[in-house]
Amino acid sequence: MNLLITNGRVLSDKIIVNGAIAIENNKIIDIGESATLKKKYRRYEKIDATDHFVLPGLINTHTHAAMTLLRGYADDLNLNHFLEKVWTIEKYMTGQDIEVGAELAAIESIMSGVTTLNSMYFYHEDKNEATAFKKINIRGIIGIAFFSHTKSESKKKFLHAVNKWHGANNDTIRIAMCPHAPYTVDPNLLKEIEFLRIKEEKRVNGPPIIVSSHIAELKDEANQINQKFQTKVKKNSIIKYLDSLNILSNRFLAAHMVNLNTQDIDIASKRKIHVSHNPISNFKLNNGLSPVSKMLSKGIPVSLGTDGPASNNSLDMIETMKFTALIHKYDTSDPTQLSAKQVFDMATKNGATSLNWHNLGQLKKDHIADIVLLNYKKPHLSPLSDEYSHLVYAAKSSDISTVIIDGKIVLEDRLPPKINLDKIIEKAIKTKDKLLSKIENNNK
């Protein structure tokens, strides 16, 4: 499909007030003034973006998509109790359940301007988050969860997923390796995962394969690692511990990174790892605040994630942007910290960098056409002074009107074409009820 978006405020390298974007198949082929591009691409299907910001799709670099089914299920608990409650119900989840939860997550994400999800969860060969993302037409990385107690099974599932899904659906779906956390994955398995990642990336000779994990999320993480695996994390330095295993590289995406010391930040910078900042879930679970300003000052690419819908409880990246900007100004006692443009970049181009998906996250020629139109002709967005300020401090996800992923329209007038939204919501409700009944029957 050839599309021409016209008459919008295009947020490219520079802001084009009456701008246009030409899309051919799934790529941006031209960006410029509307008057010029209308003459140049007369036969392209037109999308009128009058009174709209035209921006790159938002990229959620850490979530657990299928956990929409558990939204509100384990609230007002600390992380350990949260995990205990969640893991109790997750053991009953089938591949069908996971697919239903991920479908709902994909729809929710698209409707809030998110075009790419990096999701860590359990994988079933028949139905899974990949089958859901393909149905809804959202871009995603499907992270295969690893735990020490599921080592053999996780390896088997990872290899199945790579062979079936990595680079599939016109490279809208990729596979990642996701050791849950250093306190649930032993050091030998962490090293095996990196060895297998390198081996499989060479074998498939396709898109990069990343490793993503919950890192330095807990205050007592070092103690938990020492007790479970009879090792010694010196000076509570989680990153130094991981570095000693030779597993850190620019393919490593660390989610959370809350409880860090100066040495951790220096090592993270040296090894060129990426960080996904998840401030809302970190605050909700009282895990603390990641030292984002310090990491950015060291050149560490920091992106944004919502975490799962059970711990946030939303997949709204616009909400996440505002929360991010505000809390770091308070934390540093400096209102100049994390400008609106910096935070916007964290949600877009930094996200692409974190996922090693380098032709995403910006409106540029030859980049993939993942594009969002946001209506700014609203009382809460008027009058207009600064585009990025409006997007971060004033916009709402309900302002999103149109979303394009891989050159295809997946949201139009706030509705997903060819998808029965009511049916997906009803399926999710019934699936959740079924899971709860399984627990109730087991406890009788």
DSSP per residue over 199-251, as a string?
Answer: HHHHHHTSS---EEEEES-STTHHHHHHHHHS---GGG-HHHHHHHTT--STT
Question: Are the beta carbons of 241 and 234 closer than 8 angstroms?
Answer: yes
What are the pLDDT digits (tens) for 82-138?
989 998 899 899 999 999 999 999 999 999 999 999 999 999 999 999 999 999 999
Query: Looking at the predicted structure, is the pLDDT value of residue 405 above 80?
Result: yes
pLDDT, tens digit (0-9, with 9 covering 90-100), for 336-375: 999 999 999 999 999 999 999 999 999 999 999 999 999 9
Residues 63 and 106: their CA atoms lie apart, in Å, by 11
Is residue 363 one of the residues assigned to a domain?
Answer: no
What's the confidence (pLDDT) of residue 444? 63
- Rounded-to-5 percentages of helix, strand, coil across the chain: 45, 25, 35
Output phi, psi for 354, to 5 deg: -60, -35
Number of domains in the chain: 2
pLDDT value at position 121? Answer: 97
Residues 231 and 170 in one domain: yes
Query: Confidence band (pLDDT; 50, 70, 90) for 309?
Result: very high
Average pLDDT, the chain: 96
pLDDT above 90 as % of the chain: 93
Could you report the per-residue pLDDT of 24-63, keeping only the tens digit for each? 999 999 999 999 999 999 999 999 999 999 999 999 999 9
Question: Which has more pLDDT, 1 or 4?
Answer: 4
* Domain of residue 94, residue span: 58-354
Is 217 in the same domain as 107? Answer: yes
- Structure tokens of 258? 């809350």
| Stretch among 47-51, 76-80, 294-298, 384-388 having the lowest mean pLDDT | 76-80
Q: Are residues 283 and 336 in the same domain?
A: yes
User: Do 247 and 335 fall within a single domain?
Assistant: yes
pLDDT value for 440: 79
Q: Decide if 230 is inside a domain.
A: yes
Same domain, 151 and 91: yes
CATH (domain of 255): 3.20.20.140
Residues 112 and 227 grouped into a single domain: yes
Asked whether residue 45 falls in the same domain as residue 65, the answer is no
Task: Tell me the C-alpha distance between 292 and 308, whole Å.
Answer: 20
Same domain, residue pair 12 and 113? no
| Residues 116 and 244 reside in one and the same domain | yes
Q: Please, what is the Cα angle at 377 between 372 and 381, to 5 degrees?
A: 90
Nearest to 119 by CA among 145, 95, 137: 145
Q: What is the pLDDT of residue 130?
A: 98
The CATH number of residue 45's host domain is: 2.30.40.10
Query: Encoding tokens for residue 417?
Result: 């074409």
Band of the pLDDT at 418, cuts 50, 70, 90?
A: confident
Cα–Cα distance for residue pair 402/440, rounded to 1 Å: 42
Q: Is residue 193 part of a domain?
A: yes
Q: What is the pLDDT of residues 183-235, one digit of tens each?
A: 999 999 999 999 999 999 999 999 999 999 999 999 889 999 999 999 988 77
Q: Please check whether residue 103 lies inside any domain of the structure.
A: yes
pLDDT in the model for residue 146: 98
Can you give the pLDDT at residue 414?
94
Residues 254 and 373 in one domain: no
pLDDT in tens, 317-328: 999 999 999 999
- At 350 the pLDDT is 98
State the first-to-last Cα distance of the chain, in angstroms, to the nearest integer: 56
Do 37 and 145 share a structural domain? Answer: no
In a domain, 443, yes or no: no
Question: Does the residue 416 lie in any domain?
Answer: no
Would residue 331 count as lying in a domain? yes
**What string of DSSP letters covers 269-292?**
HHHT-EEEE-HHHHHHTT-----H
Cite the DSSP H helix spans in 74-231.
79-90, 95-111, 129-136, 151-165, 168-171, 187-204, 221-229
pLDDT surpassing 80 at residue 442: no
Residue 442 in domain? no
In this structure, the answer to whether residues 220 and 341 fall within a common structural domain is yes
Token reading at 158: 């990872």
Q: What is the mean pLDDT of residues 128-149?
A: 98
Average pLDDT over residues 311-336: 96
Residue 301 has pLDDT above 70, yes or no: yes
